[in-house]
């Protein structure tokens, strides 16, 4: 029998590609497992340690000092909202300079994209370390670190939105004979506004989460309070703060989801 008797279910090329991909992922998985020596069963076998830890060391949660914690929470929320506002304004301007459809000067487009890429590809906690060098510890550093990463993220997202919406309408407007600024204000901004808002809400969610982390390494707010408790081995208090953070994150997510439905409908 020759090999043509079997009818391939999917084309040969596709099959080889899929196999190669699977092999690649498998190889990476094996190498990673060997290099870290991670055995998932270890954790499952030592579950009793884990339960001991949960029920003795961390539960029940305790809110030790309402005043400090309340101030911390407020600081964290302010950091997130403030950073989102400034970042959205900056990103809006920069996105128009960086988008294919609206860029006034091509080299500037490249620069904007590169800067945005550096901004978002360095984690906000590392930005915090870098900023502490010049600004010292405090919530100022927290806001700036969030601002930098949010800007990087929003510039990319805004550019994508503009490029998606822009091309067709831009052609139509050029045919009518409208200038660049007219096109931006009359066509692109209205068309992109829902997209912008959706990204803005998303960045708000992300910032609420990262503002606690940025705080933990010196950016102030509730993160710093939590880190303090952990370093002092006051786990009951730490878990109280963590649950509070979870509650805030859930509330903000619910709020942004609500707004998404309400505003973008």
Partner 1 sequence: MNSIATTAPAKMLATGSSQGKTRQEDLLRDGRGRIRTKDPSRDRTLHLFLLAFAILGVLALVGMKLDMEQLIQGVGEIPTAIGKLAELDFSQVDITFTSLLESVAVAILSTVYSMLGGMVLAVFLAKNLTPMRWISTLLSAAMTFLRAIPSIIWVLLVLVCVGFGPDAGIIGICIFSTSFFARSFAQCFEEVPQETLEALQAMGAGRVKIFFSAVLPSALTGVIAWTSISFESNFEASSVLGTVGAGGIGYVISNSFGRYAYGQAIVAIGMVLLFTYAMEMLFTFVKEKKARIG
Partner 2 sequence: MEQVLSIRGLKKYYGSTRAVENVSFDVARGELVVIIGPSGAGKSTVLRCINRMIQPTEGEILFQGQDMAALHRESQLKPLRRQIGMIFQSFNLVYRLSVFQNVLHGRLGYLSTPDAVLGRYSEEDKKKALEILEMVGLRGMLYKRAGELSGGQKQRVGIARALMQDPVLLLCDEPIASLDPNSSKVIMDQIQQMAHKKQIACIVNLHQVDVARTYADRIVGIHQGRVVFDDVPEKLTDQMIETIYDAPLSQLTVNMEGGKAVNE
Q: Which of residues 196-255 bind partner 1 (CB under 8 A)?
A: 197, 200, 209-210, 212-213, 216-217, 226-227, 230, 235, 239, 242, 245-247, 249-250, 253
133 is a site residue for partner 2 (CB under 8 A): no
Least Å distance, CB 237 to partner 1, is 13
11 is a site residue for partner 2 (CB under 8 A): yes
Least Å distance, CB 11 to partner 2, is 5
The item of partner 2, partner 1, none sharing an interface with residue 11, based on CB under 5 to 8 Å by kind, is partner 2
For 129, the token pair is 């370390």
For 160, the token pair is 């994508």
Query: Which one, 2 or 6, has the nearer CB to partner 2?
Result: 6
Across the chain, which distance is largest between two alpha carbons, in Å? 82
* SS (HEC) of 171-205: HHHHHHCCCHHHHHHHHHHHHHHHHHHHHHHHHHH
Contact range with partner 2 by CB under 8 A, out of 7-15, 84-92, 98-106, 237-245: 7-15
Site for partner 1 in 145-204 (CB under 8 A): 193-194, 197, 200
What is the C-alpha separation between 54 and 147, in angstroms, rounded?
Answer: 36
Does residue 87 sit in helix, strand or coil? helix
Least Å distance, CB 8 to partner 2, is 9
7 is a site residue for partner 2 (CB under 8 A): yes
What is the C-alpha separation between 193 and 84, in angstroms, rounded?
Answer: 16
Least Å distance, CB 25 to partner 2, is 18
Angle between helices 124-135 and 139-176 (to 10 degrees): 120
Nearest to 181 by CA among 172, 171, 191, 189: 189
The residue within the footprint of partner 2, chosen from 3, 4, 10, 121 (CB under 8 A), is 10
CB 86 within 8 A of CB 149: no
Does residue 247 sit in helix, strand or coil? helix
Query: Which one, 9 or 175, has the nearer CB to partner 2?
Result: 9
Least Å distance, CB 12 to partner 1, is 16
Q: Which residue has the tokens 């970042």?
A: 87
79 is a site residue for partner 1 (CB under 8 A): yes
Site size for partner 1, by CB under 8 A? 74
The residue within the footprint of partner 2, chosen from 2, 9, 35, 262 (CB under 8 A), is 9
Angle between helices 66-98 and 222-231 (to 10 degrees): 130
11 is a site residue for partner 1 (CB under 8 A): no
Contact range with partner 1 by CB under 8 A, out of 1-9, 93-101, 120-128, 173-181: 120-128
**52-77 per-residue burial string, b: 16 or more CB within 10 A, e: under 16:** eeeeeebeeeeeeeeeebeebbebbb
The residue within the footprint of partner 1, chosen from 126, 172, 176, 181 (CB under 8 A), is 126
């Amino acid at each position: 029998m020759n090999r043509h008797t079997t009818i391939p279910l999917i084309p040969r090329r596709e099959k080889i590609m899929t196999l190669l991909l699977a092999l690649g992922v498998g190889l990476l998985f094996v190498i990673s497992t060997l290099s870290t020596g991670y055995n998932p069963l270890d954790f499952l076998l030592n579950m009793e340690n884990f339960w001991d830890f949960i029920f003795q060391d961390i539960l029940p949660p305790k809110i030790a000092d309402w005043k400090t914690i309340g101030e911390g929470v407020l600081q964290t929320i302010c950091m997130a909202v403030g950073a989102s506002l400034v970042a959205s304004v900056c990103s809006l301007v920069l996105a128009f300079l960086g988008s294919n459809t609206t860029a006034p000067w091509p080299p500037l487009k490249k620069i904007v994209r590169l800067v945005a890429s550096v901004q978002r590809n360095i984690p906000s906690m590392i930005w915090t370390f870098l900023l502490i060098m010049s600004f010292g510890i405090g919530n100022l550093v927290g806001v700036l670190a969030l601002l930098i990463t949010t800007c990087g993220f929003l510039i990319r997202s805004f550019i994508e939105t503009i490029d998606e919406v822009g091309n067709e309408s831009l052609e139509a407007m050029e045919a009518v004979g409208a200038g660049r600024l007219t096109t931006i204000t009359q066509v692109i901004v209205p068309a992109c506004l829902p997209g912008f808002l959706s990204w803005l809400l998303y960045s708000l969610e992300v910032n609420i989460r990262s503002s606690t982390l940025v705080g933990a390494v010196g950016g102030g707010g509730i993160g710093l309070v939590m880190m303090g408790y952990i370093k002092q081995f006051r786990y009951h208090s730490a878990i109280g703060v963590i649950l509070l953070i979870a509650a805030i994150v859930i509330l903000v997510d619910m709020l942004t989801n609500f707004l998404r439905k309400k505003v973008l409908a």
